[in-house]
């Protein structure tokens, strides 16, 4: 498989003979979002493949709207799976990344063994909240006008998470400062409107674990909807904010690894 077919920046780490796991972050963060998780996965014998969304970190910021569509990401994930020579693999998605991995898993279920996701208004929220073109344009323009400073100051950027010590925060900043604000703006305009998945989740074919952060109270209705309506889901609640895998890293690692071990 020719690596040139993959437009996203990606990093492969962990034991070369480990079971592969794809990690996909959400908006306004980067591959360093998983700093507190990857060591535990590597120690458990998993090989990590972390990608960066277009415009985020070291990934490019293409101009074409079609490049930002969730189906385009599914194509990229599938090519990357072939690159690491995995017939099937595990997938982990965070926030907007969870919406992208859910779309991928439901579109190509034969490629995914099992799936872990976190709080995701993009995937699980009410359609009217997500598909608001005017609000998306306003948020995007803030990124364009404010540049990288606006990206780093945004409340969804996890760089100020208490769980990050000084070294982790510095490593995160080094990766995140490479981002392209216009690419993040295009993500807001061209990716987010296509992420709501409530209409598909009642027929979700892949075993999926939602690790829900209960300290994000705004996510409670979405979590309750998943518990009542989504097929092949189980839900584990932890005391965490939106960035569940950062604010409750130990719980996230323990629960995720226990779940994935069922499929080894």
Which tens digits make up the pLDDT trace of 40-64? 999 999 999 999 999 999 999 999 9
For residue 123, what are the contacts with CB-CB under 8 A and spacing of at least 6? 98, 99, 102, 117, 195, 196, 197
Q: Work out the pLDDT band at 5, boundaries 50, 70, 90.
A: confident
pLDDT at residue number 133: 73
> In the chain, pLDDT over 90 holds for what percent of residues?
91
Mean pLDDT in residue range 12-35 = 97
Question: Residue 191: is its pLDDT beyond 80?
Answer: yes
Question: Residue 4: is its pLDDT beyond 80?
Answer: no
Which two structure tokens, joined as six digits, stand for 88? 């099937």
Sign of CA dihedral 243, 89, 58, 37: positive
b/e 75-85 (16+ beta carbons within 10 angstroms → b): bbbebbbebee
> Domain ranges in the chain?
3-261
Residues 92/189, Cβ–Cβ less than 8 Å = no
Quote the strand ranges of the chain, DSSP E: 9-13, 19-24, 46-52, 89-93, 112-118, 208-213, 233-238
Q: Return d(Cα 241, Cα 152) in angstroms, integer.
A: 18
Which two structure tokens, joined as six digits, stand for 93? 């998605």
Superfamily of domain 3-261: Alpha/Beta hydrolase fold, catalytic domain (3.40.50.1820)
pTM for this model (two decimals)? 0.96
Query: What is the separation of C-alpha 34 from the centre of its chain, rounded to a whole number of angstroms?
Result: 10
HSE-up of residue 94 (Cα within 13 Å, Cβ side): 32
pLDDT one-digit tens code per residue, 86-136: 999 999 999 999 999 999 999 999 999 999 999 999 999 886 665 677 888
pLDDT one-digit tens code per residue, 236-250: 999 999 999 999 999
Long-range contacts, 220-223 (Cβ 8 Å, 24+)? 222/119, 222/120, 222/121, 222/124, 222/125, 222/126, 223/119, 223/124
Between 79-83, 139-143, 212-216, the lowest mean confidence (pLDDT) is in: 139-143
The rounded mean pLDDT for the chain is 95
Torsion-angle region of 85 (φ positive above 0: left; ψ -120 to 50: alpha; else: beta): left
pLDDT at residue number 2: 60
pLDDT at residue number 126: 80
pLDDT at residue number 29: 97
pLDDT at residue number 1: 54
Helix (H) or strand (E) holding 188: helix 181-190
Angstrom distances, CA of residue 88 to CA of 13, 68, 78, 111, 135: 18, 24, 10, 4, 38
């Amino acid at each position: 498989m020719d690596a040139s077919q993959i437009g996203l920046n990606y990093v492969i780490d962990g034991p070369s003979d480990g079971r592969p796991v794809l990690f996909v972050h959400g908006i306004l963060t980067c591959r360093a979002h998983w700093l507190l998780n990857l060591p535990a996965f590597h120690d458990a014998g998993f090989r990590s493949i972390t990608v960066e969304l277009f415009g985020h970190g070291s990934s490019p910021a293409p101009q074409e709207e079609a490049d930002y569509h969730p189906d385009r990401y599914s194509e990229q994930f599938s090519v990357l799976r072939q690159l690491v020579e995995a017939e099937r693999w595990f997938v982990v998605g965070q926030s907007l990344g969870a919406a992208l991995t859910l779309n991928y898993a439901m579109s190509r279920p034969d490629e995914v063994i099992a799936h872990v996701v976190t709080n995701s208004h993009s995937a699980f929220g009410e359609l009217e909240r997500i598909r608001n073109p005017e609000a998306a344009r306003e948020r995007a323009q803030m990124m364009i006008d404010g540049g990288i400073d606006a990206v780093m100051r945004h409340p969804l950027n996890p760089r100020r998470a208490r769980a990050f010590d000084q070294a982790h925060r510095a490593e995160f900043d080094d990766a995140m400062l490479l981002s392209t604000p216009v690419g993040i703006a295009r993500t807001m305009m061209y990716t987010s409107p296509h992420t709501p998945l409530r209409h598909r989740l009642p027929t979700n074919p892949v075993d999926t674990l939602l690790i829900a952060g209960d300290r994000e109270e705004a996510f409670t209705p979405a979590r309750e909807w998943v518990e009542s309506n989504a097929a092949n889901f189980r839900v584990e609640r932890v005391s965490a904010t939106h960035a569940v895998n950062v604010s409750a890293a130990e719980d996230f690692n323990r629960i995720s690894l226990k779940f994935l071990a069922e499929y080894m």
